[in-house]
């Protein structure tokens, strides 16, 4: 898998403050005896895959595991928030035949990661990421949105975007990210990074380029700079570190994109016969609306095309207001980046010609829920913005 980096990083913002007086905050699912028993059942049923009815039962069991982090009401709310992909973009002068072409295979996925710890009752999204997946071209975009991005959440006023998950659950997170990016979101994936350890080890490790060496102040793990194969515990340390790296949360977001890309890379080079078992392992560390069959189909389609991954971060800067640290949107740069993303282009290539359908789409990158200053040039200078 080819990976290309894009986007602009700035200094980290502080950890978000209180959510306020909400009484129905979203809390991610934790491992219970019921889920452990379900995982054991997956292994038992997998042994009977050669029998048709057993294969169907296996897939159904996997589907239950994949959605197991949400109750029925949350699943229904999420289904309402998710939207089908836009029809294939066509220029205004397109012929009727061109306008009737089937929809593009590209669609958007919200990728969230929770930072709820033991004994905590509120879960903010530690990771907020937008993925665009095009199975026809094999192009995948991973775009990070800083967790401290200033937005307005309906009913809760000005907040950081990572509060959307706590206030509104998966559906609330999807709606906030969709409004910010200006695109329909078709699928939702909630990651539990601490439970990716087993999956990474099952894959035999993942190969990533660690941009700077560090020693984790929580795990004690030391990683040197450079391309290397990480074990599950090392991958977790890389994905979670923000104190011992130069750009704090922005560095961590880049590391998380690298880990996700590396896991996908290893899955795509695995033999197709291993996909069911890998999806089973994936079910232990994600909550998603995807079915097991959809995940397997996506993997097989990308295997056929080969994959190029573009890794990017929303152009942004750090600032303080009212004693609270936020991240602000660079509106013009974000709109241009989303136009390139939607067109399947390299997000970092500012010289790329944006096709007319994306150039005229006023929704792309509109950030209608963003509430940071529209005039941000002076704030970038004050924040010490740097282009990495």
Q: pLDDT tens across 261-308, in order?
A: 999 999 888 888 887 788 888 888 899 999 988 998 898 899 889 999
The rounded mean pLDDT for the chain is 82
- Reading phi first (left if > 0) and then psi (alpha if -120 to 50, else beta), residue 74 is in alpha
Q: Is the predicted pLDDT of residue 40 greater than 80, yes or no?
A: no
pLDDT of residue 218: 82
Q: Is the predicted pLDDT of residue 41 greater than 50, yes or no?
A: no
pLDDT of residue 19: 53
Out of 83-87, 322-326, 353-357, least confident range: 83-87
Topology (CATH level 3) of domain 2-34+105-383 = Aminopeptidase (3.40.630)
pLDDT > 90: percent of the chain: 57
pLDDT: which is higher, 9 or 271: 271
Out of 104-118, 245-259, 328-342, least confident range: 104-118
- On whether the CB atoms of residues 77 and 61 are closer than 8 A, the answer is no
Dig out the tokens for 256 from the structure: 């998380």
- Is 180 strand, coil or helix? helix
- Kind and range of the H or E run holding 76: helix 72-81
pLDDT of residue 89: 54
At residue 144, φ and ψ (nearest 5 deg) are -85, 140
pLDDT > 70: percent of the chain: 77
**pLDDT band at residue 16 using 50, 70 and 90 as cut-offs:** very low
Closest Cα partner for 311 from 383, 165, 211, 385? 211
What is the rounded distance in angstroms from the CA atom of residue 23 to the CA atom of residue 20?
Answer: 9
Q: What is the number of other CB atoms lying within 10 angstroms of the CB of residue 322?
A: 6
pLDDT of residue 232: 94
pLDDT of residue 378: 79
What is the rounded average pLDDT of the residues 334-363? 97
What is the rounded distance in angstroms from the CA atom of residue 236 to the CA atom of residue 247?
Answer: 18
Closest Cα partner for 195 from 69, 72, 79, 310? 69
Out of 163-177, 220-234, 296-310, least confident range: 296-310
Summarize pLDDT for 192-212 with one digit per residue, the tens.
Answer: 887 888 889 989 999 999 999
Q: Is 89 exposed, middle or buried (0-12, 13-18, 19+ CB in 10 A)?
A: middle
- Is 288 strand, coil or helix? strand
Q: Which residue has the tokens 């397109």?
A: 94
**pLDDT band at residue 4 using 50, 70 and 90 as cut-offs:** low
**pLDDT band at residue 42 using 50, 70 and 90 as cut-offs:** very low
3-state helix, strand, coil in the chain (%, to 5): 40, 20, 40
Residues in CB range of 155: below 8 A, 6 or more apart: 167
Which string of b and e fits 180-192 if b means at least 16 CB within 10 Å?
bbbbbbbbbbbbb
What is the rounded distance in angstroms from the CA atom of residue 22 to the CA atom of residue 308?
Answer: 42
Q: What is the pTM of this model?
A: 0.83
pLDDT: which is higher, 347 or 40: 347
């Amino acid at each position: 898998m080819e990976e290309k980096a894009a986007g602009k990083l700035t200094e980290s913002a502080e950890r978000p403050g209180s959510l306020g007086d909400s009484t129905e905050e979203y809390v991610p699912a934790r491992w219970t005896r019921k889920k452990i028993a379900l995982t054991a059942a997956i292994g038992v049923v997998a042994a009977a895959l050669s029998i048709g009815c057993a294969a169907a039962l296996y897939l159904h069991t996997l589907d239950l595991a994949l959605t197991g982090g949400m109750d029925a009401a949350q699943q229904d709310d999420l289904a309402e928030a998710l939207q089908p992909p836009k029809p294939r973009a066509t220029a205004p002068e397109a012929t009727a035949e061109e306008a009737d072409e089937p929809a593009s295979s590209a669609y958007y996925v919200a990728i969230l990661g929770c930072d709820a710890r033991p004994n905590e009752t509120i879960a903010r999204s530690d990771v907020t990421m937008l993925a665009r997946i095009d199975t026809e071209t094999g192009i995948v975009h991973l775009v990070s949105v800083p967790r401290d991005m200033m937005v307005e959440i309906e009913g809760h006023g000005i907040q950081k975007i990572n509060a959307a998950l706590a206030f509104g659950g998966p559906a609330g997170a999807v709606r906030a990210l969709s409004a910010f990016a200006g695109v329909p979101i078709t699928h939702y994936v909630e990651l539990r990074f601490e439970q990716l350890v087993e999956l990474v080890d099952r894959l035999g490790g993942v190969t990533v380029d660690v941009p700077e060496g560090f020693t984790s102040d929580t795990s004690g793990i030391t990683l040197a700079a450079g391309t290397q194969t990480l074990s599950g515990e090392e991958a977790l340390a890389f994905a979670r570190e923000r104190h011992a790296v130069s750009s704090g949360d922005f560095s961590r977001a880049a590391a998380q994109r690298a880990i996700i890309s590396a896991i996908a890379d290893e899955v795509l080079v695995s033999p197709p016969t291993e996909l069911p078992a890998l999806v089973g392992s994936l079910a232990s560390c994600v909550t998603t609306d995807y079915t097991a069959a959809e995940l397997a189909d996506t993997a097989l389609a990308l295997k056929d095309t080969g994959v190029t991954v573009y890794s990017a971060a929303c152009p942004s800067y750090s600032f303080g207001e009212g004693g609270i640290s936020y991240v602000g949107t660079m509106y013009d740069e974000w709109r241009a980046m989303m136009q390139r993303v939607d067109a399947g282009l390299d997000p970092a290539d500012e010289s790329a010609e944006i096709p007319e359908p994306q150039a005229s789409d006023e929704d792309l990158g509109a950030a209608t829920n963003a509430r940071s200053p529209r005039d941000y040039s002076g704030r970038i200078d004050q924040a010490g913005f740097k282009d990495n």
